[in-house]
Amino acid sequence: MAEYWDIYDADRIKTNRKHLRGEPIADGDYHLVVNIWIYNSQGKVLLTQRHPDIPFPLKWACTGGSALAGEDTLTAAIRETREEIGLILSPDELIPAGQERRLHSFLDTFIVCRDVLPGEIVMQPEEVVDFCWVNESQYRKMQREGLLHPALKNFFEVYREKIPRNNPFGKKQNSR
């Protein structure tokens, strides 16, 4: 099935044009892209390994993808997470962590603070072939070894500080 994206101008204003995924995108045209970092109470992030038949084969990355025509980035983040790894998110779980303009896209990054139960992750076989939870030292090792998607930023350096300090996991605080 054909996938279309809304086209935005350099100021992130939506135009009345659509773009067919897979076709070259014109200079000065942008579409919306999302990254979703899932962070657990053990201080680890979820990485997924890309399918060998898609760009950047077998590289590790956070969950993410392009917003479809008609979607905002919050809706796209919820859909991409459900499609790629089977997790159902509510909008209030997504913490905005950053926005940036890239060559042909506006990337919105979100953090989800959640402890995922065993068996809760269901990988989309056309896109994801494996997943793992990594701490900061494991992430840095994967980075040094060239195992990560080249456009991926280091969660622990760039985004971890965006996690709310007021107990984002909903657990009872120990009183001392």
- Region 143-162: mean pLDDT is 96
Query: Among all chains, which residue has been given the structure tokens 């195992």?
Result: 147
CATH assignment, 4-162? 3.90.79.10
Please enumerate in sequence order all residues whose Cβ is within 8 A of that of 115, keeping only pairs 6 or more positions apart, or say none: 40, 41, 169
Torsion of CA 50, 74, 156, 152, to 10 degrees: 40
Stated pTM of the model: 0.93
Q: Tell me if 148 sits within 8 A of 61, measured CB to CB.
A: yes
Position 172 confidence tier, pLDDT thresholds 50, 70, 90: very low
Q: Give tens-digit pLDDT for 11-37.
A: 999 999 999 999 999 999 999 999 999
| Pairwise CA distance, residues 176 & 174, whole Å | 6
Q: State residue 169's pLDDT score.
A: 80
| Pairwise CA distance, residues 66 & 74, whole Å | 11
Q: Where are the domains of the chain?
A: 4-162
Q: Give tens-digit pLDDT for 85-120.
A: 999 999 999 999 999 999 999 999 999 999 999 899
Q: Give tens-digit pLDDT for 120-141.
A: 999 999 999 999 999 999 999 9
